[in-house]
Every structure is written in structure tokens, then in C-alpha cells.
Chains A and B, each alone.
Chain A
């Protein structure tokens, strides 16, 4: 498995190919649509991260010492970013996830999506992914 940083750099390279925001957004929408469906048994209140604008459901499980994330959102743009977060963090060890520094969202110019307002559940989602990793480590 590639390291978290290598995957982040791949994503940054992917986004560098785009000329404008519209291509970036279209790519995110595509990623959002392609995100594997979250098993409905995981779409429960306990897995819900509430945002002011969109909601995110996050599920994590441990498999062969790595964490596998699955997630969903009611907004497609949010789902697109979730797809990227899963690509970066899933299939890594709890320690790698907990210690990761995620810089790709800023690098690809999507900081609007991560504003510290209550805009969406993404900031909480990243935090929650790390918390799951730590919890599942034991």
C-alpha cells in the first residue's frame, strides 16, 4: 500500500491537470457519484456527523491491521471530498491515520469546503476518522 503522503501527492497531481474550478467540481461530482454505496445498516444516527448544510455518515472497521472506511453524504460535492478522504486514509494502519497530516484539500484549492463555519461535516469527519483509527487500534 502506498503511503498517505504519496496518495495525497497523486491527488494533488490529478487536480493540477484541471484548468478551472468547473473541471475540479465536475471531477468531484463524478467521484461523489462513483462512491460505493454505504450499507444501509450503517446509515444510522450513531454514524452521523451533522453539518449545518449537509450530513455525513461514516463507518470504520479493522481488517488485517488496517482501517477500512466507508461513508456517505446527502450532498454530492461533500461525497466527492469524502471519496478523496477515503482514498487517502483507508487501508492504512491506525497509527498512520492518526499521525497523518492532510494537506491535499488546501493544495487542490478546496479550502472553501473546509471553512471553519458550520458549512458541512467535513472537518468533523476528518477528526472522526482519526478517532475511529485510535479507537480501533486497541
Chain B
């Protein structure tokens, strides 16, 4: 299917605006995507017509809000091909989801146990495991990254052992765009009895997900990186993997019975959903999923690949450009530097030309250390970006270069 990009763009009100007197060219989608009008309307409609607390009221509105929230759970379950609805836990975001699991492992692990992550992880998939190690006495092992931005799988195979209790790896690198061989990692880990958590923050609109086939024990992602609202995330876990974790936060919703003598906890999914959730956001996530499914994950992926190839060719024409992450298997992310220039300088100048990109370490400081650079400039695509926008961005980068050199 060929996507009608003009039609898609028309659904994103924010894209029509001007920044510093120039048409906005938004190329920071790895940080967060813009929201289509269906998602925005779902949020407004909820507060205008449906606002009520979920799971506890007997009145009409509470029932309606509950029904709509639970409908999202079903939509997420279908979207990622999970087995049961109760394997879908709503959280604040991917970071929150990882913290929930890592916090649980703090009590499950002991000295001598090992956790494996990789050098290209986002700080969100590093720091919770460091805290987990501090609390449990377990140790952290790191899969190195090769020059082309791929994981050194030989190292992984040598590193993993029956001391390994959990492997936590991103599906797609937020800095390099590399699609990691998560299937191989999962099957090897399971051979040795280790569990696997996949950080899918960058993956949900680029890879068709099927949890049953993928066989990951935990899979996490954020709504806001897939055209949905901020403040909503998902923790998927296999039923037994979630049941093996201790409760995370205490409060309303997550209890069965409370007494001063002994409190018992609710079964999945409510066991991990203490407190009033982001109801409007969760309801709007359903709209984001519908939006993505209508376009088709594969179509989005293919279109963004076209943008990626065009932009890669064009940017390499600028003298002195170095791209970090050159795996054949990568999605719409280009991290680059220009010899002798600081990415921050490029970013602030092209901002004035209406082009929004990300500069800095992208919350992957160990990866920057590995490449011996202070940071990169990063272009990241979404389905509403166009070839014309890439041309504007390239011209802006050239302009910045001419000012800075």
C-alpha cells in the first residue's frame, strides 16, 4: 500500500505551524512523535464527557471510563500479539515499566547472579539494573557494540552462562537505529534459563510485534513514541513472569483485602496498577493504535526506510559528515557529526531555520564514550515526514556548517 502522506500530515495539527517564521520541520521523532487529531480528541472528549474514576464506581460514568480503559488493554493485547489481556500492565512509560521489573529483580537476585545489558542501551535500561545490582549484590555484564553499531553477538554468546538471570536489551537503538537480533538473544537466554526484557520504546511503529512468537518474558514501550500521549506506557509480561515478580507500588486498585494484620494483593493486571491511572491517556492510546494499524506497521516501516535511504545519501554528500550506526538492519534514525563541529552548534542554528532535531548524548552516555564523541546530531523520522522536509533539513545543515567553519 502506498501511503498518502499529505492526508496523514493533515491529521497532525502541530505540523502546520511556523517556528521562527519558518515552516516546522519536525525530525525529532525518536524523542517523541506528534499526535494525530484522533488522539487529541480522545483526550478532550474524555475530560468533557467521560471523566470518572475507574474500577470502583457503580455509577454510569465510572462504568464507561472503566470499559474504555479495559478496551485499550484488549487493543494493546491484540496489537502486540499477547496471549492474555492480564499480561498487559499500564504504566507511566517504558522507563517506569523497566523500573517495575528491575525493582522486582532486586529481591529475586543474589550475589553471584548476573544481568546482561548492552553498550547501546538508553540510560533507562542501564540505571534501573545498576540499582538492582546495588540492592541485590548481582553483577552487570555489558555486550559491546561493534563499529557499525551492531551488537557483538560473539561476545554475548561467550558472556551468557547459567549465572545469567535476566538479559535486558533494546529492540531498536534510539541513538543508532540498529535493530538488534532480539530473537537470537531470547532463544539463547532461554536455553540457559535466563529471562529476557526487551525495551521496545523505538520499535512499536517499525516492527510487527507478536509476543507469542517473539517469546520475550517482558516487553516494554511508551505510548508517546507511537503517536499516543505522554505519561502512558505498557509493561507486557508473560503471565508466569509477571506473577514471579513481587508487588511494586502499594495503594488502591492493587489490593484484594487490606487489614492491619495482613493485606493481600489483587491478581494480574491490577497487582501492578496502584493508584488512579492516566485514564485519558490510556483511552487515547487505543486511538493511537488504531491510527498505526490503519496505516500498517509494515507500510510505515517501508516508507521510513525510503526516507532513511534518501536522507543518508544526501547527508553523506556534505563533506566531513560521519554517520554513527551503519547496520543494514536499521530504522529511520541518522546519528551524525560533522568533522570539527559540535552537534550543539548545528542544532541551535538549524532550529532557527525551523528544523527540529536532537543533539547531545541521547541518554546513551556509555555509547558516546564507546565512540569517543561528546554527542551527535540525530535526525529521526515518523510517517508524516517528507522528502521535501529532508531537503530543507540538509540545506539547513549546510547553512550551519558554512556559518561555523
B349, A25: Cβ atoms closer than 8 Å = yes
Quick one: given A25-B403, A29-B403, A76-B404, are A53 and B352 in contact (CB under 8 Å)? no
Chain B residues with Cβ under 8 A from A34's Cβ? Answer: none
Residue of B nearest to A33 (CB): B404
What mask results when residues 349 to 363 of chain B are scored 1 for a CB within 8 Å of chain A, else 0?
A: 101100000011100
The residues in A between 105 and 119 inclusive whose CB is less than 8 angstroms from any CB of B are: 112-113
Chain B residues with Cβ under 8 A from A75's Cβ? Answer: 342, 344-345
When the two chains form the complex, which single residue of B345, B351, B359, B374 contacts A55, counting CB atoms closer than 8 Å?
B374
Quick one: given A52-B360, A54-B342, A74-B342, are A112 and B348 in contact (CB under 8 Å)? yes
When the two chains form the complex, which single residue of A26, A78, A112, A120 contacts B403, counting CB atoms closer than 8 Å?
A26
What mask results when residues 323 to 357 of chain B are scored 1 for a CB within 8 Å of chain A, else 0?
A: 00000000000000000011111011101100000
Looking at the assembled complex, report how far the CB atom of A121 sits from the nearest CB atom of chain B, in whole angstroms: 11
Quick one: given A29-B404, A52-B360, A53-B375, are A76 and B345 in contact (CB under 8 Å)? yes
Docked complex Cα distance between A54 and B343 (Å) = 9
Number of interface residues of B (CB under 8 A): 18
B111 at the interface (CB under 8 A from A): no
A44 at the interface (CB under 8 A from B): no
Interface of A is mostly: helix
B345, B347, B361: most-surrounded residue (chain A CB, <10 A): B345
On B, residues with C-beta under 8 Å from A are 20, 341-345, 347-349, 351-352, 359-361, 374-375, 403-404
Pull 24 A–B residue pairs with CB atoms less than 8 Å apart, ordered by A.
Answer: A22-B403, A25-B349, A25-B352, A26-B403, A29-B403, A52-B360, A52-B361, A53-B344, A53-B347, A53-B359, A53-B360, A53-B375, A54-B342, A74-B342, A75-B344, A75-B345, A76-B345, A76-B404, A77-B345, A77-B348, A77-B349, A78-B344, A112-B348, A113-B348
Apart from the given pairs A75-B342, A78-B344, 17 other A-B contacts in the complex at a CB distance below 8 Å: A22-B352, A25-B348, A26-B403, A29-B404, A52-B361, A53-B343, A53-B344, A53-B375, A54-B344, A54-B374, A55-B374, A74-B342, A76-B342, A77-B344, A77-B348, A77-B349, A113-B348
